[in-house]
Amino acid sequence: MKIKMHSIDGKWKRYTLLNDNNMSIRFLDFGGCITEINVPDRNQHIQNVVLGYKNYQDYENNTNFLGTIIGRVAGRIKDASFTLNNQTYMIEANNNSHHLHGGSKGFHQIIWKTKPFQTENTVGVTLTHRSHEGEGGYPGTMDVSVTYTLNNKNELIIDYLAKSNKTTAFTLTNHSYFNLTGNLASPIHNHVVTIDSDTFVELNAELIPTGKKLHVENTPFDFRSGRKIADGINSTYSQNLIANHGYDHYFILNHIKQDDICIIDETSGRKLTIKTSQPGVVLYTANSSIENLELEKGRSKQHLGICLETQASPASLHHEGFPTIILEAHETYEKQTVYTFGIEE
């Protein structure tokens, strides 16, 4: 197990975590951006399986949120406003008239304080930040920590911990775009995805939840037994068309199966399983605004990566019956998502 730190232009730190299987993870203290996850295929060829910019400077204008920590609230908040304890809070409208991923100066745009650690079987870094009252328009001063841990089981463990001195809206996620073909060999059409979920949330034309939960049965959103992403990309189903030929939807997890989510790329043999304590996940298939970016292995294009944003639902601010994002004053926010990389047998 090894951990390395490298200075980027004297202003950022880049950490590399390496386990005994030659799996490695690279990330920045800026935004907590995961820039590389290097894992073997069935022939033991080690390649990067996440989208990352060729030039680190591009993370400063990272409107696609590649690899970042998202906060204070992951997802879209309708009309950039919400009401808590009979007080209405107006926050930044950075996605048409709505609020997206914490706003333009959210957690993806800060330099986190870092503290590396190493044990016999793990290496990692804890990133911390104090978010002050009114930051982004949100109530409460918050102490937030996100810990990245790599072990010899080829697991990346992300632990989220936070506390606020006032009741506030809060849900964190990581926004890495996965492409298991390795080094962006091809788009994600043939990735086979399994999600332990019976229900997804309907969106309107502005990608805002309508408040209606739909059953996955007999739709391209039924991932319970596994299906290719191409099914949704090529579908004429209204919810796929609304998402610009793909997925940008919240699934409520059953938490019944051993793994909540699984992705397999049959060509390379790579397999990613995800287990989370979060109540749901947004499946996003890079349907728009990601074209022609200069990435490490070439220019980006539509459907080049798949995000699995484990989180609670911002729809809970405006609709009943959704996993809440309300964090009560002095209550501890504690969530974990585990990404396990392996080979499909």
- Spot the catalytic one: 175, 191, 249, 303: 175
Which spans in the chain are helix H? 230-233, 238-242
The CA distance from 194 to 216, in Å, is: 12
- Confirm whether 189 is a catalytic residue: no
For residue 218, give Cα distances in angstroms to 192, 222, 234.
17, 7, 16
Contact 325, 138 (CB under 8 A): no
Sheet bearing 261-264, strands edge to edge: 113-118, 122-131, 142-151, 155-164, 332-343, 270-276, 261-264, 192-195, 227-228
Write down the catalytic residue from 36, 135, 155, 309: 309
What token pair was written down for 264? 């397999």
Question: What is the full DSSP assignment across 15-63?
Answer: EEEE-TTS-EEEEESBTT-EEEEEEE-TT--EEE-B--BSSGGGGGG-T
- Which residues are within 8 A (CB) of 10 and not within 5 positions of it... i.e. 6 or more apart? none
Rounded CA separation 157/262 (Å): 16
Can 155 be counted among the known catalytic residues?
A: no
Active site residue ranges: 175, 309
